[in-house]
């Protein structure tokens, strides 16, 4: 499964599925920033809220924790973490797209949440080693130029014993659900996404990248390959449409998969 993905292993050129296209990715998100949330809500039929709650729960975040949400976009995962860590905790969301961050800041002030947002590259985090209890990324690891490097960078800023939590699309299997989902992803999603946001190519990109990105055990292998986690685990959500992966930062020991992650 992972072999079609250029960035899955360290024998590759180290670039993501579109091969070092950060500025194009940033421009694409800038052009849909104001309509991104609406597109998410409709196209996931509201499921993304449930997936985010699962990611926060599985990350092990507790009240008072310091959390860094990478490629935070319009901030929905960061806000979910903020609710979990409470006022004594702190959440910073970073993204390299100023337009997405602007929407996140407006939402934070509307909802009276103290979440901070900063413009930064997930591959070069401007934070000291061991500064956070949890680092997270939702639907973003697939977009960074070098996903393994992104995981390493997140692990670097998390204290030993803390966690790196990744929420990302998978490729659902099964004789009925698999083909049905592939049809939805390849045909319905770009059409409806284009209609909702005016940027069909953003949803073609979503299909292209998510259908080739390693999921389940292939992604866990990528996490293990970084050598930064003492334990990694994965959980499939909604029949494998999405996955939550969690790595405990520390010297490598073992891996487990549950809920369909071992695909």
Ligand X SMILES: C[S@@+](CC[C@H](N)C(=O)[O-])C[C@H]1O[C@@H](n2cnc3c(N)ncnc32)[C@H](O)[C@@H]1O
Task: Please give the residue ranges that form the binding site for ligand X (CB under 6 A).
Answer: 22, 25-26, 29, 71-73, 76-77, 95-97, 100, 121-123, 138-140, 143-144
Which single residue is written with the structure tokens 């995981």? 151
How many helices (H) and strands (E) the chain has is answered by 10, 8
d(C-alpha 116, C-alpha 93), whole Å = 6
Task: Confirm if 68 and 94 have CB atoms less than 8 A apart.
Answer: yes
* E strand or H helix at 93: strand 90-95
CB nearer ligand X, residue 96 or residue 181: 96
Sheet holding 158-169, edge to edge: 116-119, 90-95, 66-70, 132-138, 158-169, 242-249, 229-237, 254-258
CB nearer ligand X, residue 144 or residue 257: 144
d(C-alpha 245, C-alpha 219), whole Å = 8
CB nearer ligand X, residue 98 or residue 180: 98
CA distances from 168 to 22, 25, 210, 241 (A): 18, 17, 8, 9
d(C-alpha 118, C-alpha 231), whole Å = 30
The count of residues in the chain is 263
CB nearer ligand X, residue 3 or residue 111: 111
Question: Which residue is nearest to ligand X, using beta carbons?
Answer: 73
Alpha-carbon 209 to chain mean position: 13
CB nearer ligand X, residue 185 or residue 255: 185
CB nearer ligand X, residue 147 or residue 255: 147
CB nearer ligand X, residue 174 or residue 198: 198
d(C-alpha 191, C-alpha 58), whole Å = 33
Strand-strand pairing, 116-119 and 90-95 = parallel
């Amino acid at each position: 499964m992972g072999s079609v993905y250029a960035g899955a292993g360290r024998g590759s050129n180290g670039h993501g599925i579109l091969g070092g296209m950060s500025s194009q990715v940033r421009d694409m998100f800038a052009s849909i920033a104001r309509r991104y949330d609406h597109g998410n809500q409709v196209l996931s039929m509201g499921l993304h809220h449930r997936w985010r709650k699962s990611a926060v729960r599985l990350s092990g975040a507790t009240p008072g924790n310091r959390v860094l949400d990478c490629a935070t976009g319009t901030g929905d995962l960061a806000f979910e973490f903020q609710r979990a860590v409470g006022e004594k905790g702190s959440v910073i969301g970073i993204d390299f797209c100023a337009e997405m961050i602007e929407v996140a800041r407006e939402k934070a002030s509307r909802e009276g949440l103290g979440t901070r947002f900063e413009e930064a590259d997930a591959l070069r985090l401007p934070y000291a080693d061991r500064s956070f209890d949890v680092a997270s990324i939702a639907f973003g690891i697939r977009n960074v130029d070098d996903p393994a490097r992104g995981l390493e960078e997140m692990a670097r800023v998390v204290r030993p014993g803390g966690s790196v939590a990744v929420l990302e699309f998978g490729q659902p299997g099964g004789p009925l659900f698999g083909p049905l989902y592939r049809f939805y992803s390849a045909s319905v999603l770009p059409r409806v996404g284009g209609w909702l946001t005016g940027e069909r190519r953003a949803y073609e990109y979503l299909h292209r990248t998510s259908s080739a990105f390693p999921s389940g055990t292939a992604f866990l292998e990528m996490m293990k390959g970084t050598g930064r986690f003492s334990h990694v685990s994965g959980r499939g959500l909604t029949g494998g449409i999405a996955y939550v992966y969690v790595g405990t930062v520390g010297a490598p020991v073992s891996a487990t998969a549950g809920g369909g992650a071992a695909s």
